[in-house]
Structure 1
């Protein structure tokens, strides 16, 4: 989708991993992008604006959302383990923060609300993180019934790539392997994921701004399915190191699902996978180079 007459789009949480890549993709397509986040973006482009603020501050939200066509919401606590250990903060940021944004959207007649959700909404895994996303989706649907905005739920699978957080799965594996030459993995190695590179996910995230996806849920995943063992073997191979990995005898991965979940049935979703995508091997090599300090993960 191309930006029409430089329509204003606000990316809340645009200083982070997926948010910054999506903000860049929006800019490339001609939208007037403003990033709203609790901290300055180190990847801010010259053609983007930056506003530092709190999603619990209604006045700040209303100020930044004024005259906006759409808002992308990536903010909140997104690490499953952090969410489980900080229950009140998770509810406060992920649920009440979302409600606060939707209130501002309704009061300012913003046309589109793009909500970053997760595949965990289909499962019994994910602890408070999953519950906060399920609750937020339900809230957004209820608000839409009494207001004029249209929403899209973007339920992401396993993301990886440049700018990822320290707790990102593939990033942790790569860092341990290239810096320590070995890996301790909490699981059996049989866990399966549909990995998608963040660049591919950000393109799909802008594609679904199209009117065809109004009041829809979409799952955004990759077409490459690997077990954890296959992924770890690939990282060792690309890094040129002899494999040294210890799998947990308990065979548990904490609050994480062991295969892509479709157990529960929230709002029916359309599955989106990129027709052209970054190969997992190429993506892993990119991360090895980034984390080895060979390249910088700045914007194009």
Structure 2
């Protein structure tokens, strides 16, 4: 079996590519930048999803195609509407057309719970448009699909575009966490490795031509998450709440717009959030201060 993962060098896409390879797929990773995580059963193609010829060549012979490529940062999308429409909508349509041309068995699209919301600006709009176009390809050409609406992700391989990564890094390097708003906003956080595993589980027939919500197993207030991080760091950091200048993020729930209803996939096991945060803290600490872990103890890298 062969799979192609567009955006496979990134945070979530790289984990999905790994899970596919572990399950025996030969995986082509297509991205603008080379993946630093390549492993056995994976090959790299560097290119743009706007390049029709390159996209068609990458998809040729594939059974399954995933699309994680595009502008995924809500604030970035707000300030770059033309690029967001071009990359997210046109790019996804080019991939869909290639899937149709090469008789792909299943197309899997990375959407977001923001499609339910009045928040999310151009990012939300681009995801809504993509979902409708995917349905059109199914109705017109018979292309099978699964649309995954992800919640708030965290975990290894994240970067400054990920809010949890940013606040963990700020806590370690500045001794404080700042947040716009009062922290009462609710989120369902899911570890990226749990999300990746579920993103491959959905290749079963049960989820063909379905929408699936992939979020955490419990709701958590942002301020409670911040307190948890402070306690994990020995109560040595300051929590600072600033006036909310942005209206692109939802507060309590994303559910104000009602597109096609999605199933919620509940995994049999999730990584405990405290454990997941602790691993993220260790990774950031090692990166920032060049420490390594030896028998569970952080030591200087040259020890």
Category of TM-score, reference length = shorter chain:
over 0.9
Change beyond 3 A, Cα 1:120–1:295: farther
User: 1:257: which partner in 2?
Assistant: 250
Conservation of the 8 A alpha-carbon contact between 2:151 and 2:190? yes
Q: Out of 185, 188, 191, which is 1:191 matched to?
A: 185
Contact (CA 8 Å) 1:181, 1:241: kept in 2 or not?
no
Local SS of the residue matching 2:16: helix
Matching residue of 2:39: 45
- Conserved in 1, the CA contact under 8 Å of 2:159 and 2:166? no
Q: Is 1:269 matched up with 2:256? A: no
| RMSD, matched Cα | 1.3
In the superposition, relative to structure 1, how do residues 251 and 23 fare at CA in structure 2: closer, same or farther (>3 Å)? same
**Which whole-Å CA distance do the structure 2 matches of 1:36 and 1:48 have between them?**
11
Aligned length: 289
Retained in 2: the 8 A contact 1:109–1:148?
no
TM-score by length of 2: 0.93
Matches of 2:237 and 2:169, distance apart in 1: 14
Contact 1:236 1:242 in 2 (8 A): yes
Q: Secondary structure at the match of 1:152?
A: strand
2 CA distance for matches of 1:34 and 1:193? 33
- Correspondent of 1:205 among 183, 190, 199: 199
Gap regions ≥5 residues in structure 1: 1-6
1:25-67 deviation per Cα after TM superposition (whole angstroms, max 9, x unaligned): 1111111111011110001113211111110011001111001
Q: Which runs of 5+ in 2 are unaligned?
A: 294-303
> Displacement, 1:252?
5.4
Deviation at 1:224, TM superposition (A): 2.6
Q: How does 1:1-300 map to 2 (within 5 A)?
A: 7-248=1-242, 250-251=243-244, 254-293=247-286, 294=291
What is aligned with 2:299?
A: none
Distance 2:44 2:292 in 1: 25
Is contact 1:111-1:148 (8 Å) kept? no
Q: Cα gap change, 1:226/1:252 in structure 2, threshold over 3 Å: closer, same or farther?
A: farther
